[in-house]
A and B are shown apart, each in its own frame.
Chain A
Amino acid sequence: MKNTIIIIISILLLVFIFSGCGPEKKKVAVLIYDMEDPFIKGVSEYLKAFDQKSYDITYYDSQKSQIVQNKIAEKLYKEGVDLLVINPVERLSSYIFVKKSLQEEIPIIFFNREPLKEDLEYFEDVYYVGTDARESGMMQAKLISEGLGNDTENLGGFDKNGDHIIQCVILKGEQGHQDAEERTKSVIEGLKGEGFKVEVLHTKVANWNETKAYRAMHEIMSEFGEDIELLISNNDAMAIGASKYLMDNGYFGMEVDGVVTDIPFRIVGIDGLEEAKLLTKKGYMYGTIINDGKSMAEAIMQLSEYILENDEEKLQYELVDNKYILISYKYHSNE
């Protein structure tokens, strides 16, 4: 009887020893601000694709709530984690993670929403991977300019009223949101820089959201419909929403060979979502600026390895000030 017990205990011990034999994988937690955001969802899918299973990576959805994100982070700090990858809900609130990480000595990579500079500099093991919002607006302006054949006089034939001024409507992401403000500002600046005259007929805040943009289009079209020569959207989701409203309400002509024949005005977005690319191909949208989620994910993965393994060779992206990796935008149009 005693012998049997001893044998069973020994076997159990052996099982435990052997099962725990392999080196423990380092834990990485990825906190996403909103899994319903198509671009961010894309980034997290790319992250999963780049995951070489050398780390134990867990993804958390903050559901657009800083409180939820704080709760997740609190749990992670308590349980212990080797690296935090955070897509903040509120950029101004990010300082609490930096302070906590300094206490707990856990490195953080922030991405896509940039915390304040002072917060990033508060602790040396805090990094940021993102894009330059200003760049996206500038590139959006360039895309528009090229689409108009750089014709500042006659606007490449898109000057409906012949006043040599671009009458445009802007779909803005969020009032006061850094990226929204920056993109809105820089695209206008960019167009002016290219020599165009621009009249913003209306700026509508649609919170980066497709449905909100769809609804907003009703009011916009009834008020400014005839006068609009260009629709600038801060992101693709809102551009898609606007396109769908116009489609559903008969503003577009027939499709011939998969390409729409008549359009009310040009629509440009930012982000390079697959759906936006498809709409661009069919002619419903003029083009988009690819916010390169794939490169962003790749940079995050490489930076993670760089931080966890201290292996500089793995990092193919430029690490500015040993803190920032900025991912460049790319054009996407049907031309």
Chain B
Amino acid sequence: MKHTKGFSMNHFTIMQTIIATITVVLAVSVTISALSVYYISTRTSKDLVYDQASEINKQIVFNYENYTNRVEGIANLLQKKALDYDMMMDKEQVLDLFSTLENLEDSIVSVVLFDNSGQVIVSTQNIEKQFSLIALQEWYKTAIFDAKIIHFSSPKMQEIYEVNMGEVISVSKAFEYQEGNIIKSGVLLIDMNFEGLDSLSNVSNLGEKGHILILDDKDQIVYSSDVSQYGYNSKSYNTVKALIFGSESLTINGTQVVVNINTIGSTRWRIATFQDINAFEKGTTNALYTAASVIVITMLITILVAYFVAMQITNPLKKLNKAIVRFHHGNDDSKVEIEGQKEITTVITGFNGMIDRIHALMDEVIKEQESKRKTEIRALQNQINPHFLYNTLDCMIWLAEENRNKDLVDTVGALSTYFRVSLSKGKQFIPIFEELQHIESYLLIQRMRYNDRFIYKIECNQEIAELRIMKLILQPLVENAIYHGIDKDDQKSWISIHVFEEDGYVILKVTNSGYGITQEKIEEIHHVMEDGNKKGSIGMKNVYRRIKLFYGEKAYIQIASELDETTTVSICIPRDKLKVQILEQGDKT
């Protein structure tokens, strides 16, 4: 199966994961809750505004119905009272009655009773028109047409009076009256100005741009509280005309309004109240901004908090990681300060414990190695002695037999020096010059053995003569030089020992004259030295292993030869290692 990188969380840091997760979860939940709160609050406040608009409409309808009922009540009262009089005799009383009621209601401008031919019977105002024209008036005709109801006309210029009354609303009703003991039917006319309607159109509750529009059943405008919305082309008018009744929200000239249309009792009118809800719309916009800023602020705070929480977790982990890297590169001081959450401190404590344990183990290993090495070196050094001692004593026997006393004394002196250096109070490391004294006594002894058949030369740079070196490393080389390089017949054989410093190495170079050795042989010797298991020169192998053990891999032995001329074996030890060894030795003794 192939892993798609995009879906794996492994590529993110803990901090990224925590912040991303918290941010996403929070963004979704906060947005949802904020929006739902916004939605619910605006919805309820919207419902509230609609309810309020509807309530205000209801109140206004009540006011108008109160008014129309009053007018209707007046008409009914007139009807009832009028039947108590006879028009033949009591016109004056009837006129009094009419006048009284006219004065009762400010908006009533006139009360007139006509007979069935349009002739005026009683009037509170002077009438100018001919009776035939009266009968043609719309209010007159409708009153005759439907005798059972009171008719409220749309506003018209009333031209029947001598005095111009301006636009009036005519309330007309079929009317019964007595004339000469006979019940006759006529028409009662009550003309009203707009004072009543105006005083009722208290639009303050409808908001700044709120207004009222009253239409009749033929969709003619009866009344409008807003001059700018008056007219058959206005949006208000067209809305009311189309909607007929009920409620709707719409925009008029950029103003949000809710229109409620209801009927006014006793009339054929319907009243539309336009409630300005712009203020409310502003409120919802503010609510939206508030909701948005709440979301943003909450998000920012949470991301910040998440960042710090993530830091708390990841910082110790980062330190731990750095410590591990340091440890990997071999830095011993890799312990980590214990901080952070419980799980993390547990890990850190574990890591620190691990470091301690590793240190302990390493120390143990080093100690073990050291003791092992010491044992080994001692054993190797000791290998030299019996071999050499046997040869020397053999030589001394021989000198004694030959009675070469002086030579014998020299040899015994040399042997004494040789052993003094060899023992060196048990020290492993001795100054180079001491090592060279040792080798000179050895050469002295060997020259005696070989009957002066070789000469030797020892050179050493003074700067390095004091450096301490692992003792008895030159002897095996010199031993080989004597053994392989001395021609028994040739009196001119020589051995040269030269100690010097070159390229950061201290080189102990042993050169002897003789046949030399072939390149193949050199390689074979190297091979033998490097592989401890192969048989060969015990001395060389011994030295090789000792310098490698002590001075590390950089130390080496170099063999060179010029056939029929010389053979050179050099021990090369890094100069800095020598210093360290001196100090170390000082510490150890």
Contact = CB atoms under 8 A, between A and B. Distances in A.
B265 A175 contact: no
A95 B217 contact: yes
Contact size class for A?
A: 20 to 34
B131 interface: no
Contacts of B54: 71
B487 to A, nearest CB: 99
Contacts of A70: 245-246, 262-263
Interface stretch (A44-52, A96-104, A221-229): A96-104
Interface in A160-213: 175-176, 178, 181-182
Contacts of A96: 244-245, 263, 270
B262 A67 contact: yes
Contacts, number: 55
A92 B58 CA distance: 18
Interface string B123-151: 00000000000000000000000101110
B76 A66 contact: no
Interface in B189-227: 217
A66 B148 contact: no
A175 B263 contact: no
B267 interface: yes
Scoring A66, A74, A116, A182 by chain B CB atoms within 10 A of each residue's CB, the highest score goes to A74
Interface string B228-261: 0000000000000000111100000000000000
B247 A74 contact: yes
A77 B246 contact: yes
B263 A93 contact: yes
B76 A176 contact: yes
Interface string B537-548: 000000000000
B61 interface: yes
A80 B418 CA distance: 130
B146 A175 contact: no
Interface in A94-119: 95-96, 99-100, 103, 116, 119
A135 interface: no
A90 interface: yes
A209 B81 CA distance: 24
Given A93-B263, A96-B270, A178 B244 contact: no
Interface in B56-82: 58, 61, 72-73, 75-76
Contact of B262 (A66, A116, A178, A181): A66
A304 B73 CA distance: 38
Contacts of A78: 246
A178 B148 CA distance: 6
Contacts of B72: 176
Contacts of A103: 244
A92 B244 contact: no
Given A95-B217, A178-B149, A67 B267 contact: no
A223 B244 CA distance: 49
Contacts of B247: 74
Contacts of A77: 246
A70 B270 CA distance: 11
Contacts of B246: 70, 73-74, 77-78
A119 B265 CA distance: 16
B61 A116 contact: no
Nearest to A185: B176
B58 A67 contact: yes
Given A67-B61, A181-B148, A92 B245 contact: no
A99 B73 CA distance: 29
Contacts of B148: 178, 181-182
B405 interface: no
Contact of B150 (A73, A90, A176, A182): A176
B449 interface: no
Nearest to B146: A116
Contact of B245 (A74, A181, A182): A74
B103 to A, nearest CB: 22
Contact of A175 (B58, B76, B244, B268): B76
Nearest to A119: B217
Contacts of B73: 175
A88 B545 CA distance: 126
Contacts of B61: 67
B79 to A, nearest CB: 9
Interface in B246-294: 246-247, 262-263, 265-268, 270
Nearest to B65: A66
Nearest to A77: B246
A92 B262 contact: no
Nearest to A122: B217
A179 to B, nearest CB: 10
A100 B149 contact: no
Contacts of A74: 245-247
A59 to B, nearest CB: 21
Nearest to A182: B148
A170 B14 CA distance: 95
Interface in A72-95: 73-74, 77-78, 90, 92-93, 95
A137 B146 CA distance: 20
B327 to A, nearest CB: 47
Nearest to A205: B76
Nearest to B152: A92
A99 B217 CA distance: 10
Contacts of A71: 54
A143 B244 CA distance: 45
A178 B173 CA distance: 13
A138 B40 CA distance: 61
A66 B149 contact: no
Given A100-B244, A103-B244, 14 more contacts: A67-B262, A70-B262, A74-B246, A90-B265, A92-B263, A92-B266, A95-B268, A96-B245, A96-B263, A96-B270, A99-B244, A100-B245, A116-B146, A176-B75
- Which 6 pairs between the two chains have the least Cβ-Cβ distance? A74-B246, A93-B263, A96-B245, A99-B244, A175-B76, A100-B244
16 contacts: A66-B265, A70-B246, A70-B263, A71-B54, A73-B245, A74-B245, A77-B246, A92-B267, A95-B268, A96-B263, A100-B245, A103-B244, A116-B146, A175-B76, A176-B72, A176-B150
